[in-house]
């Protein structure tokens, strides 16, 4: 019973993570709702995993079935979570396609188990838990279960984990590119997604190792199991905390893009070169870059066109995205201010605000991109 309690710790941690997200003040956004479901799926799979060490369910094939089915749904749910986090167009019917293989697998596995005899079920679970072997006349359902529940299961779960993590890298990079094409800075909009991604990667690795090594853990000393489970709990707790704190998601971006005033006509009234000239004028004469809340939407409305044409003109004529375009003017202004003052009189926070930045950290990050040094380092070399 003590061993069962230890193995139930991660399941309890995942469920508490679900509670933590639900207790968040205010209305949950789509990403937080999906994160809640992800926590429940993980909690359910870890609960079934712990039942391997429950003497009341010893050699119960339904425990093994519950584990495999819940684990197979974790990656599709994580995929939906990524979509709600990074895709401002929202969830669509095709995004639920990854669930089809998991549903088919669950139905097939259940049907096979129902066709197995009770001695076959016990024999199968003896092999799963303790690696027991022996001679027994087995039916076709048993052989199918042996294939679906071992090699096939491990291959599919491993493929799911690798696919989702690789997809996450590209999806987050694409989302960052979109942020750079709409805002002048990502500050307050990344919501620690890099740290979140690292945490999820580590959690996925630990999760996979736990699932793949079920037959061996009964031989590990209790203190090592306890240490392992505490580590798993810590990772689940950290990831759940990060999930609960996600405030800026694709939903926020969608509300901004939907607010854009769409001008009539499929083509602009001027050529790209003329629009580029007006963009330069908006920056040099009107100094729109001084507004820390400047977006490509507000710039487009100032110019009397829409963001698609503005974005295209910037990329074609200024060798970069909207964020690069605006930040060049801001950093150029900051450098002029620093050059006009004595080193000991320079107050970087004041320089940042005068240059259109809402914070010193944002100013430092963008300065480093252009000058490959922080403002302080640049000043020391002058």
How far apart CA 65 and CA 46 sit, in angstroms, is 13
Domain with CATH 1.20.1070 in the chain: 2-254
Predicted local distance difference test score (pLDDT) of residue 260: 67
pLDDT at 265 exceeding the cut of 50: no
Banded pLDDT at 215 (limits 50, 70, 90): very low
> The domain 2-254: what is its CATH number?
1.20.1070
Say which residue, 253 or 105, is predicted with more confidence: 105
How far apart CA 53 and CA 343 sit, in angstroms, is 68
Beta bridge partner(s), residue 183: 295
How far apart CA 239 and CA 82 sit, in angstroms, is 14
Q: Does domain 328-382 have CATH number 3.30.1490.20?
A: no
Mean pLDDT along residues 176-204? 70
Angle of helix 296-303 relative to helix 272-284, nearest 10 degrees, comes to 110
Predicted local distance difference test score (pLDDT) of residue 196: 60
Most confident segment among 11-20, 67-76, 211-220: 67-76
Look up the pTM and report it.
Answer: 0.80
Residue-wise pLDDT for 324-371, tens only, equals 999 999 999 999 999 888 878 788 999 999 999 988 988 999 999 999
Fold of 261-320: Arc Repressor Mutant, subunit A (1.10.10)
Domain with CATH 1.10.10.60 in the chain: 328-382
């Amino acid at each position: 019973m003590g061993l069962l309690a230890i193995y139930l710790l991660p399941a309890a941690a995942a469920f508490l993570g679900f509670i933590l997200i639900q207790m968040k003040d205010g209305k949950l956004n789509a990403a937080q709702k999906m994160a809640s479901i992800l926590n429940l799926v993980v909690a359910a799979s870890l609960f079934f995993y712990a039942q391997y060490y429950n003497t009341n369910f010893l050699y119960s094939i339904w425990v093994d079935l519950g584990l495999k089915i819940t684990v197979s749904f974790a990656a599709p749910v994580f995929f939906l979570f990524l979509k709600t986090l990074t895709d401002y167009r929202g969830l669509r019917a095709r995004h639920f396609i990854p669930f089809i293989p998991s549903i088919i697998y669950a139905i097939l596995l259940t049907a096979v188990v129902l066709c197995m005899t009770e001695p076959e079920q016990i024999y199968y679970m003896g092999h799963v838990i303790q690696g027991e072997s022996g001679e027994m006349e087995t039916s076709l359902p048993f052989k199918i279960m042996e294939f679906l529940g071992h090699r096939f299961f491990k291959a599919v779960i491993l493929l799911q984990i690798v696919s989702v993590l690789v997809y996450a890298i590209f999806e987050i990079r694409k989302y960052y590119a979109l942020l750079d094409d709409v805002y002048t800075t990502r500050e307050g909009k990344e919501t620690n997604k890099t740290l979140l991604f690292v945490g999820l990667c580590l959690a996925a690795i630990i999760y996979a190792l736990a699932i793949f090594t079920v037959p061996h853990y009964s031989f590990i000393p209790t203190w090592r199991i306890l240490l392992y489970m505490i580590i798993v709990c810590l990772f689940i707790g950290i990831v759940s905390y990060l999930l609960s704190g996600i405030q800026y998601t694709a939903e926020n971006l969608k509300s901004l893009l939907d607010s854009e005033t769409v001008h009539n006509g499929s083509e602009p009234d001027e050529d790209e070169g003329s629009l580029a000239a007006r963009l330069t004028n908006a920056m040099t004469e009107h100094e729109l870059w001084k507004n820390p809340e400047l977006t490509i939407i507000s710039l487009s409305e100032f110019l009397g066109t829409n963001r698609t044409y503005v974005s295209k003109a910037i990329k074609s004529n200024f060798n970069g995205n909207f964020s690069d375009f605006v930040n060049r003017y801001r950093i150029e202004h900051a450098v002029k201010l620093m050059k006009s003052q004595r080193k000991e009189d320079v107050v970087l926070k004041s320089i940042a605000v005068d240059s259109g930045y809402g914070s010193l950290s944002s100013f430092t990050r963008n300065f480093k991109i252009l000058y490959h040094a922080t403002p302080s380092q640049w000043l020391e070399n002058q």
